Amino acid sequence: MNNKNNLESIAIGSVLIYLSFALVFAINRMLWHPPAIWVSQSLLLFFILPVFIYDGVIYQSESFLKYITIPLIVVDILVLAIFKDRGNLPYVLYVFVVVSLLYTFFLLKLYKQYKLFYLGIGRWKIWLPVLAVVFVVIIIGTAYFSSKRAYIRVYPLYKYYIRSNGEIFFYELSFLIFMFSWEFLFRGFLIPILRKKTGLFLAIAISTIIFSLAHYGKPETEIYSSIFGGVLLGYLTVYFESVYPAVLSHFFLSFTMNMFVMLRVGKIHAPAVIMNLLKSLH
Whether 132 and 154 map to the same domain: the answer is: yes
What is the distance between the alpha carbons of residues 256 and 268, in angstroms, rounded to a whole number? 13
Whether 25 and 99 map to the same domain: the answer is: yes
Orientation of helix 66-82 relative to helix 90-110, angle to 10°: 150
Indicate the residue among 113, 129, 150 that finishes a domain: 113
Whether 107 and 118 map to the same domain: the answer is: no
pLDDT band at 159 (very low <50, low <70, confident <90, very high): low
Q: What range does the domain containing 126 cover?
A: 114-282
Question: In a 10 Å sphere around its CB, with 0-12 CB exposed, 13-18 middle and 19+ buried, how is residue 101 labelled?
Answer: middle
Question: In a 10 Å sphere around its CB, with 0-12 CB exposed, 13-18 middle and 19+ buried, how is residue 73 labelled?
Answer: middle
User: In total, how many domains does the chain have?
Assistant: 2
Percent of the chain with pLDDT over 90: 48
pTM across the whole model: 0.90
Whether 149 and 269 map to the same domain: the answer is: yes
What is the distance between the alpha carbons of residues 157 and 177, in angstroms, rounded to a whole number? 15
Whether 99 and 37 map to the same domain: the answer is: yes
Indicate the residue among 113, 132, 154 that finishes a domain: 113
Average pLDDT over residues 162-187: 84
Whether 231 and 183 map to the same domain: the answer is: yes
What is the distance between the alpha carbons of residues 87 and 99, in angstroms, rounded to a whole number? 22
Tens of pLDDT, residue by residue over 212-248, are: 887 776 777 877 888 888 999 999 999 999 999 999 9
Indicate the residue among 67, 96, 113 that finishes a domain: 113
Question: In a 10 Å sphere around its CB, with 0-12 CB exposed, 13-18 middle and 19+ buried, how is residue 38 labelled?
Answer: buried
